[in-house]
Amino acid sequence: MDSQTALTELKKFQGERKGAGDYYNQSQQELGVGEAQTRQNELKDVIRNTEAQLKGVGQSVAGRTRGNLVTEAQRSRLQALEERPIAESLGSQQGAYSDAAQNYRDLLGQAGTKAGMLYQTDADKLSALESTYNKQYAAEQAAKAEEQWRQQFEESRRQSESALAEQQRQFNENIANTKAQYANLASLYNPSITTPTVNTEQQKAIQDEASRLAKVGLGSFSAGLPINKTKKQSNNILGNIGQWWNSLPTSSLFGIK
Q: Is the pLDDT score of 195 beyond 50?
A: no
The larger pLDDT score, comparing residue 67 to residue 121, is at: 121
Q: Is the pLDDT score of 140 beyond 60?
A: yes
Tally of CB atoms within 10 A around 155: 10
Tally of CB atoms within 10 A around 43: 19
How much is the pTM? 0.51
Looking at residues 131-158, what average pLDDT do you find?
Answer: 93
The gap between the terminal CA atoms of the chain, to the nearest Å, is 67
Q: Strand, helix or coil at 257? A: coil
CA distance 230 to 221: 6
Residue 225's pLDDT is what?
Answer: 42
Residue 256's pLDDT is what?
Answer: 41
User: What's the mean pLDDT when you consider all of the chain?
Assistant: 80
The model's pLDDT over 240-256, given as tens digits with 9 standing for 90+, comes to 545 544 555 544 444 44
b/e 71-88 (16+ beta carbons within 10 angstroms → b): eeeebeebbeebbeebee
- Least confident interval from 33-37, 127-131, 189-193: 189-193
